[in-house]
């Protein structure tokens, strides 16, 4: 298949996203003076906006890329939950969300002159258990049958656990569904037998137990993760150095295509969304990684949790030739 064929097939695919749903709140303003009360800037607020974050941003990336998506997670019965649900509906994202008496996760970033001044988070990251866990598993089991691939977006906020991943794999394996995980440090023991993980350098170091300082240690870490987790592939994202793909008998470095890096917020969400959608659309693992690399190169050039489109990726692929 050509890249044009793969990108054109995105619109036929349905992806199931499971994970921690986050509402990203951006408060924009300008700074003209320092507070007389403490050595901190006074931000004169001009406006605010809300964007999808965490697993919700992964889902947003899927629809922006032309695919269909269902997201499963937790939101609270609060203003943040109402706003998050409204945005999901507006974006055409099907959602299966549950309230287990915790607040909706809201990350508030205060931005002045395109610089982040401060961030404050509202969350309860205790592990999801009991009746809520059972409802999550039941909805996932039903949804897996109707989707082409699964993305687990782990922000370590309580939804993703070894028990939940075990249930996902149990439901996905008989159907031969691809299961990709955007991992978090401290949770690598949960990811055994998934199809793909997409750690950054720090996460790969922690997960493998190997300090990555050069290509030799990078290769050792990637191969260790492959073996340790019995997964099909490991895609290590390396910031301005691009990404490295590890398969059982293959290793390839993919240089970055980002021209300007303004904000890496949500770049990992874009990588896993584009990779999974591309692979589900008939790409090889290496082709899927190339497409994900171009998608990430586009979104880091924008401030805030950004998304991209097949047309922009195609243009980026042509420009790189």
Q: What is the pLDDT of residue 307?
A: 77
94 dihedral zone (left: phi>0; alpha: psi -120 to 50; beta): beta
Mean pLDDT value across the chain? 92
Tokens 């190339």 correspond to: 290
Q: What is the pLDDT of residue 68?
A: 97
Cα distance between residue 207 and residue 236, in whole Å: 11
Domain ranges of the chain: 3-319
Do 76 and 103 form a contact (C-beta atoms < 8 A)?
Answer: yes
Sequence-distant (6+) residues with CB within 8 A of 170 are none
**Residue whose C-alpha is closest to residue 243's, from 266, 260, 220, 218:** 218
Q: Which CATH class is domain 3-319?
A: alpha beta
Q: What is the pLDDT of residue 274?
A: 96
Active site (catalytic) residues: 269
Do 53 and 305 form a contact (C-beta atoms < 8 A)?
Answer: yes
Q: What is the pLDDT of residue 320?
A: 79
Q: What is the pLDDT of residue 256?
A: 80
Q: What is the pLDDT of residue 3?
A: 93
Chain mean position to CA 60: 10
The tens digit of pLDDT for each residue in 60-112 reads 999 999 999 999 999 999 999 999 999 999 999 998 887 768 999 999 999 99
Q: Which residues of the chain have pLDDT under 50?
A: 262-263
Cα distance between residue 229 and residue 203, in whole Å: 14
Query: What is the value of pTM for the model shown?
Result: 0.92
């Amino acid at each position: 298949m050509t890249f044009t064929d793969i990108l054109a097939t995105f619109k036929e695919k349905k992806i199931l996203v499971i994970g921690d749903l986050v509402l990203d709140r951006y408060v924009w303003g300008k700074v003209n003076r320092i507070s007389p009360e403490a050595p901190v800037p006074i931000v004169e607020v001009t406006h605010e906006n809300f964007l999808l974050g965490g697993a919700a941003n992964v889902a947003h990336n899927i629809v922006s890329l032309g695919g269909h998506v269902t997201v499963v997670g937790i939101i609270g019965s609060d203003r943040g939950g109402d706003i998050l649900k409204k945005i999901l509906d507006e974006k055409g994202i099907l959602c299966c969300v549950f309230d287990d008496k915790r607040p909706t996760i809201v990350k508030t970033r205060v931005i002045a002159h395109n610089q982040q001044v401060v961030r404050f988070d509202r969350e309860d990251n205790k592990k999801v258990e009991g009746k809520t866990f059972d409802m999550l598993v039941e909805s996932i089991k039903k949804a897996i049958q109707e989707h082409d691939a699964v993305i687990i977006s782990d922000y370590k906020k309580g939804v993703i656990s070894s028990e939940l991943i075990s249930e996902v794999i149990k439901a996905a394996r008989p159907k031969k569904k691809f299961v990709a995980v955007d991992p978090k440090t401290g949770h690598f023991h949960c990811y055994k037998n998934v199809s793909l993980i997409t750690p950054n350098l720090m996460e790969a170091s922690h997960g493998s137990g190997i300090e990555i300082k050069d290509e030799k240690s990078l290769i050792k870490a990637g191969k260790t993760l492959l073996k340790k987790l019995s997964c099909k592939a490991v895609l290590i994202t390396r910031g301005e150095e691009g990404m490295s793909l590890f398969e059982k008998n293959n290793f390839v470095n993919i240089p970055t295509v980002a021209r300007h890096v303004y904000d890496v917020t949500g770049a990992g969400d874009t990588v896993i969304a584009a990779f999974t959608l591309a692979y589900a659309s008939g790409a090889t693992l290496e082709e899927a990684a190339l497409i994900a690399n171009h998608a990430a190169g586009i979104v880091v050039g924008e401030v805030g949790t950004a998304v991209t489109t097949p047309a922009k990726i195609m243009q980026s692929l042509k420009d790189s030739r």
